[in-house]
Structure 1
Amino acid sequence: MAKAAQKITLSSSRDIPFDKLVLSQSNVRRVQAGVSIEELAASIARRGLIQSLHVRAILDADGAETGKFEVPAGGRRYRALELLVKQKRLAKNAPVPCVVGDATSEVLIDEVSLAENIDRAPLHPLDQFRAFKAMTDKGMTEEAVAAALFVDVHVVKQRLRLVSVSPALLEVYAEDEMTLEQLMAFTVCDDHTRQEQVWDAVRSGYQNEPWRIRRALTETAVSATDKRAVFVGVAAYEAAGGVMLRDLFENDRGGWLQDVALLDRLVAEKLRTIADKIAEEGWKWVEAAINLPYGLTNGLRKLAGTPADLSEDERATREALREENDRLIDQYEHADEMPDEVYDRLEEIEAALGAFEGRPIRYEPTEIARAGVFPSVDANGALKVDRGYVRHQDEPVAEEGAAPLPGARECATAEPNAPTIQRAVITIGEQAAQPKEEQEEDGVRPLPDRLITELTAHRTLALRDAVANNPRVAMTALLHKLVSDLFERRSTTGALEAHIRQVAFPAQSEELNDSLSARSVADRHERWGDHIPADDEALWNWLMALKDDSRMALLAHCVSFGVNALYERPNPYGASGVSDHALKIRLSQADRLARATGLDMAQVGWRPTVGNYFGRVTKARIVEAVREGAGERAAELIGHMKKSDMAKEAERLLMDAHWLPEPLRLEGNGDDVSAERAEDESEEALPAFLAGDDDEEHAADGEEDHEQPMAAE
């Protein structure tokens, strides 16, 4: 006969005055975690004591009850009640609901405290979301829910955001087949069908990280940091009916604009309005575009203009700012550290003085009538207006034998492929369409000629900047060209056009105009242009008066514009274009200039992206690039992807790897350079004044901070 299981007896419960309770020293909780004592006290004051305390009677030496009870389980609740007593919100002898355990039990009091904390199950985030939603459905606002539960309103918004996730995916999460981070990633999009498609695509693979899910859901949207979005403004986009995708769980940098067609239309409309307003100033033509190609103004004369006159008050303000700036700099020049308020004031003064320098430029009405304007959008989304450019055919023509008309000057002939400028025509630059993915043969195909030309356009621009910053190399390159022409009578054009014919870039990527090299070249050219006289005789006198270091810097700047490191498809028939031999000489000399200036395309900011490289080459090329820049393991991980996904992942992997494609690399390695130097030294020794080397060293120190855990009750 089976023995009946012994029935258990639950501990009794009763109300015990608070002043009869003491906190047990056997309570296992020592570290503060979760809701604070103050928040718990506020919760008890609002809702009452939801959970009773577990207590045991304190016995004296003879085993008799003393009338006092210790609290081994519920210490935080005890502390919260104690705080309410101190705040005079609870009477000292207020009855407290307690479960009274057996004081003579064999179960250790430490075990009771430990079990009370271990056995509790935290609320599932999905249940928390459903509870929040039930409360808001019954009329409570998000702020009221947050205040009632003593949580940040952002927590409530985050949990309620889960309502945008497909119910099917919520069930997947409830079955623990998806992490909370993955579920939160789906909240950036409200399209349940799209969410389920993305989950089906990533659920069985290992590339299902939250950031990949977000990228898949937003790949057809435009980031709020895109210059088009900044130019138009998110508020204007939403006012026009545009839908935003937001991520409440991660820093989304403003979210994503879902309706790209609407955004492009708003950009075009705003540019049209700006162009119409500029045209009212009387300009002959206005050409507006969100992206203006680099070199668009080659062959156009820039009007000098005169800055608007300052009033007496403005002049006095400017002089006062300059004096204050000089006084602060002199005062803190030798100080170990500049106070924050002084640093902030200097920045304010610099901004104010910059506003004086950037005041409007006035042009003569006759010049305005023959010139035009280029409105565009810079890389930061701000409007950029370049006024006062005269086309060659619009220059004033003097009668034969007469002196040149005022304002007219000889300018470089426009390149044959220079864009045609139309009156009041607004065009929105479009990104080059990506080629359709197609079946590819095994192996690495040669890079397309156009892509090589675009890459070498970047390198040419960077070389120009590098040469301009190294007068010694510029002088050497110029002397090399002149000596070759005079003594050897070479007819082949190398990497330096000594007569400084600016070479246009027949193919260029969209980001070329906003590259670090382009901005550096443009800034330097503008600084020199502010000082160079327009009159020929005045120019000669000004050059004669220049100091040697300024003369060398200007020479380097001018010589740099003749640098040509562009790849062109060779013409074997020699009728036009460049021969294969001439191209080899050009690229070889470009490598020599790069070595002499220490040019590194990665250091000047070039990074491989989907647009400028990965979307233009075969899958084999992408894998090869990742293998070189990120390692064999990374190459294996992307090998099975589609071409579009592979290109995006390669861009992410190599963003900070300083990897460069072949056309941007420097031909030869250190051994080759050493061999070349040894060969040069075997020749007749050069004059001592031509020898010299410059070395630069860079070091970086890192520090690690170690946080100590904070002890709490």
Structure 2
Amino acid sequence: MIQSVKVKNLSLSNDNVRKTNRDTDLESLAANIAAQGLLQNLVVTPLKKNGSFTVKAGGRRLRALQLLIKAGTLPADHEVPVMVLEDSDVSIEASLSENFHRVPMNPADECTAFKFFIDKGTSAEDVAKRFGVTTRFFEQRVRLAELAPVVFEALASGTITLGVAQAYAVVNDVDRQARVFEQMGNAYHGNNPDNVRRSLLNGSVKPTDAKARFVGEAAYLEAGGRIERDLFGTDADASWTDGEILDALAATKLETAAAELAVEKGFAFVTPIVATHVPYDVERALHEYHAPARALTETEQARVFELTDANDALGQRLEEELEAESPEALEAEALYEANEAELEKIDASLRVADDETRAQLGTFLYISPDGELRTHARMFSERPIKTVSVGGQPDADDKPDTSGKLSVALMDELATQRTQILAAHVASDPALALDLSIFLMADQIVYSSAYIQYGISVTARPADMPIPKFRDEGSTASNALEDQRQGLDTSWAGYPTMTERFEAFRALDESARGSWIAYATAKAISATLNAADGYRANGFHDHLGRLCNIEVAQWWRPNAENFFGRVKKDMVLDALQDIGGPVLRGRYKDAKKAELAAACATLCSGGGIVEAEVREAALAWLPDAMKFGGIEKAGSSQIHYSFREPVVDNEDEDEDGNGNGPVIDTDTEPSLPAVTYDNFETVEAEVLAKFTEEEATVLAYVEEGLHGAG
């Protein structure tokens, strides 16, 4: 029996079979009821209270009606038609039947229906309101209705999923959609949305790209550039498809800025680089210049002391007295920053090249990752600017004349003794020794191509890499090292002598010197891998990596170019098994090598439609060689310790039977006693006794020749 009942007299039955997702998209349903009315009756049974009913089927519709009444869209006494059932068992069956036999509408049918209203001239907002959906949802469905016919037919027939169809809608070009669809039809993993998007957007640029940020959307569109909006993604998922236009705009803008900077600074050149870094080879084709720092004037020195003392006092107040974020604290912080800025300005003024030199200098202008102009921290010249020699040796006129006064043997002996005296003093002054070590390493990096007689064997020449001048331009590590290099303070490097450079280096603050020791040491590390028994294995490097808590996956990810495309197929399949077990491996076992490498790269970058645990494993996966998991093993040859007595084995008895006899290496000849004037003949006899007759003859011949030459 059908009758009208006020909504306020209806309540939800506990017998309704839908227990989950009751409130999903309830607002959309309410909007649809407000626009179309209640198109399907509620199924109810009467309660004992006269005029009240419990809803057995249509609980979501009831909640939507209550939502509309609460919002004031419908009156409080609004009535709706209901079907009244007397039997409770029958009502439960009706509830189950209504929910169980409901078939979701095919997305293609939704798209066609929505497009019908657009073709009639109805606005998107009106249609969305009428059907209780958002305008964005409506526009998404209409976009799908405008797919290339072959793609839309595949959606309608169920050949591709809604997600794949949405991937094709990332561009409006139906011809390109059709071409990619044909290509993907022949590919093993052609129904992967990520692969579809990648093929469609090949050569396009995201709005978050540095060049896009630098140029700006307005300028790009004004120049005729096209942007494909992804209705199924965010604004950041849009694609700028005209790369040539973007590159031309970026180059023009950079060239203009570079010309202005050259005039402003008086540089001979400012080279614009349409990239987020200066390529290694471009930089190395020039000569890096380090301006010698002048001394502070008395006025500047006094001002430096004044500012430093003021900031020390401000820092103490901020730390001990002032409350954070209070007006007094904010004022003190502002003054502190102003003083720091003035100190930096004074420091920068000490290293200004003269006009004649500046006219030979230049630098690079490039784009930062956030789309801002960035000037290279260093200056360069096209030809070497020779100031003075950096040899570190006194001029000939300064050398003491010792010719003919001291024998060679005596000079060697005196030099040794003098060096020992110097070494003893350096060894007793750790601060000086540390500064000296850092300076020598830093100086050898700055003057890596010069021959300088340092007279000290501490060295940190950059290690030879397997691929000279290799740099992975897009990697986090390469960019971090480049940022660290540009941040090094080279104000000391412009002085002509080692003495002046060393004293200027010592005058740097602790942080600046620390940056040099860190960078110099880092550049001295040789190339190694966690390769078992390989010549590149170095367990100590692995130990250092663990000490640094290095998360390699945060710094390097395997892709088709740097790994998967360059190893055997079995190794790629093994990686898939590590990530997702035999099931994932089996899914790709028949794929071609290129497709397999691309699929693995997608997984390891967080893409692909996979379970959450598989995605997590893929994002963490690394080849063993890149892990810091090796353990250092002792070498096969014996290490000789300079500061230790011979190793003693307590289990071997000595002459007294005390078990403290030394271990004798049977492969090593026993050492001979020290030679003195008293035992010379005895030792000589012992030595000669160890030679064969033939060896003794040769030795005698050599001795005779040496004595004759002497």
Where on the TM-score scale, by shorter chain, does this alignment land: which range?
Answer: 0.5 to 0.7
Residue 172 of structure 1: CA displacement?
1.7
Looking at structure 1, the residues matched to 331 and 158 of structure 2 have their Cα atoms a distance apart, in angstroms, of 56
The answer to whether residue 472 in structure 2 is matched with residue 511 in structure 1 is yes
2:143 is matched with which residue: 151, 161, 168? 161
The count of residues paired between Structure 1 and Structure 2 equals 545
Structure 1's 136 and 280: CA in aligned 2 closer, same or farther, altered over 3 A? same
2:232 is matched with which residue: 249, 254, 262? 249
- Measured against aligned partners, the alpha-carbon deviations of 1:623-645 in whole angstroms (never above 9, x if no partner) come to 36525654486777667655654
The answer to whether residue 349 in structure 2 is matched with residue 370 in structure 1 is no
- Measured against aligned partners, the alpha-carbon deviations of 1:210-252 in whole angstroms (never above 9, x if no partner) come to 2222222223323334433333334432332222233332457
What amino acid is the match of 2:290?
A: K
Residue 560 of structure 1: CA displacement?
6.0
The match for 1:300 is 288
State the structure with more CA Rg. Answer: 2
Looking at structure 2, the residues matched to 350 and 629 of structure 1 have their Cα atoms a distance apart, in angstroms, of 54
SS, match of residue 363 in structure 2: strand
Looking at structure 1, the residues matched to 333 and 595 of structure 2 have their Cα atoms a distance apart, in angstroms, of 44
SS, match of residue 364 in structure 2: strand
The match for 1:275 is 258
The match for 1:96 is 80
SS, match of residue 376 in structure 1: strand
What amino acid is the match of 1:300?
A: E
CA RMSD of aligned residues (A): 5.6
The match for 1:284 is 268
Higher mean alpha-carbon deviation, 368-377 vs 124-133, is at 124-133
SS, match of residue 221 in structure 1: coil
Structure 1's 505 and 110: CA in aligned 2 closer, same or farther, altered over 3 A? closer
Residue 142 of structure 1: CA displacement?
3.3
Residue 181 of structure 1: CA displacement?
1.2
SS, match of residue 108 in structure 1: helix
The match for 1:623 is 569
The answer to whether residue 32 in structure 2 is matched with residue 50 in structure 1 is no
The match for 1:697 is none
Looking at structure 2, the residues matched to 304 and 630 of structure 1 have their Cα atoms a distance apart, in angstroms, of 57
Residue 15 of structure 1: CA displacement?
3.8
SS, match of residue 383 in structure 2: helix
Which fold has the larger relative contact order, with Cα–Cα distance below 8 Å and residues 6 or more apart in sequence? Answer: 1
* Higher share of residues assigned helix: 2
1:425-464 correspondence runs (5 A): none
1:109-128 correspondence runs (5 A): 109-128=91-110
Q: Is the 8 A contact 2:167 2:194 kept in 1?
A: yes
Looking at structure 2, the residues matched to 548 and 317 of structure 1 have their Cα atoms a distance apart, in angstroms, of 19
Residue 67 of structure 1: CA displacement?
6.2
The match for 1:395 is 385
Q: Is the 8 A contact 1:18 1:94 kept in 2?
A: yes
Residue 532 of structure 1: CA displacement?
6.1
Structure 1's 257 and 93: CA in aligned 2 closer, same or farther, altered over 3 A? closer
Residue 159 of structure 1: CA displacement?
2.2
The match for 1:458 is none
What amino acid is the match of 1:651?
A: A
The match for 1:674 is 633
Structure 1's 57 and 212: CA in aligned 2 closer, same or farther, altered over 3 A? same
The answer to whether residue 484 in structure 2 is matched with residue 529 in structure 1 is no
Residue 371 of structure 1: CA displacement?
0.8
Looking at structure 2, the residues matched to 164 and 374 of structure 1 have their Cα atoms a distance apart, in angstroms, of 47
TM-score, length of structure 1 as denominator length: 0.60
Q: Is the 8 A contact 1:392 1:411 kept in 2?
A: no
SS, match of residue 123 in structure 1: coil
The match for 1:262 is 245
Q: Is the 8 A contact 2:41 2:82 kept in 1?
A: yes
1:172-187 correspondence runs (5 A): 172-187=154-169
1:550-561 correspondence runs (5 A): 557-558=519-520
TM-score, length of structure 2 as denominator length: 0.60
SS, match of residue 139 in structure 2: helix
Looking at structure 2, the residues matched to 545 and 159 of structure 1 have their Cα atoms a distance apart, in angstroms, of 68
The answer to whether residue 212 in structure 2 is matched with residue 232 in structure 1 is no
Looking at structure 2, the residues matched to 203 and 640 of structure 1 have their Cα atoms a distance apart, in angstroms, of 16
The answer to whether residue 482 in structure 2 is matched with residue 541 in structure 1 is no
Structure 1's 352 and 145: CA in aligned 2 closer, same or farther, altered over 3 A? farther
Residue 74 of structure 1: CA displacement?
3.2
- Measured against aligned partners, the alpha-carbon deviations of 1:600-643 in whole angstroms (never above 9, x if no partner) come to 8947934444455666x4xxx35365256544867776676556
The answer to whether residue 164 in structure 2 is matched with residue 218 in structure 1 is no
Q: Is the 8 A contact 1:146 1:152 kept in 2?
A: yes
1:10-49 correspondence runs (5 A): 12-16=1-5, 24=13, 26-31=15-20, 33-34=22-23, 43-49=32-38
Looking at structure 2, the residues matched to 368 and 657 of structure 1 have their Cα atoms a distance apart, in angstroms, of 50
What amino acid is the match of 1:176?
A: G
Unaligned runs of 5+ in 2: 301-305, 392-433, 445-456, 529-533, 606-618, 646-710
Looking at structure 2, the residues matched to 546 and 387 of structure 1 have their Cα atoms a distance apart, in angstroms, of 18
Structure 1's 345 and 245: CA in aligned 2 closer, same or farther, altered over 3 A? farther
Higher mean alpha-carbon deviation, 167-176 vs 589-598, is at 589-598
How high is the sequence identity, in percent, across the aligned residues? 26
- Measured against aligned partners, the alpha-carbon deviations of 1:237-284 in whole angstroms (never above 9, x if no partner) come to 233222223333245744322222222222322222223223333322
SS, match of residue 54 in structure 1: strand
SS, match of residue 511 in structure 1: coil
Unaligned runs of 5+ in 1: 1-11, 61-65, 311-315, 397-407, 413-470, 482-495, 567-586, 689-713
Q: Is the 8 A contact 2:289 2:379 kept in 1?
A: yes
Looking at structure 2, the residues matched to 395 and 284 of structure 1 have their Cα atoms a distance apart, in angstroms, of 13
The match for 2:454 is none
Higher mean alpha-carbon deviation, 249-258 vs 503-512, is at 503-512
Residue 113 of structure 1: CA displacement?
2.7
What amino acid is the match of 1:649?
A: A
Looking at structure 1, the residues matched to 69 and 627 of structure 2 have their Cα atoms a distance apart, in angstroms, of 75
Q: Is the 8 A contact 1:498 1:559 kept in 2?
A: no
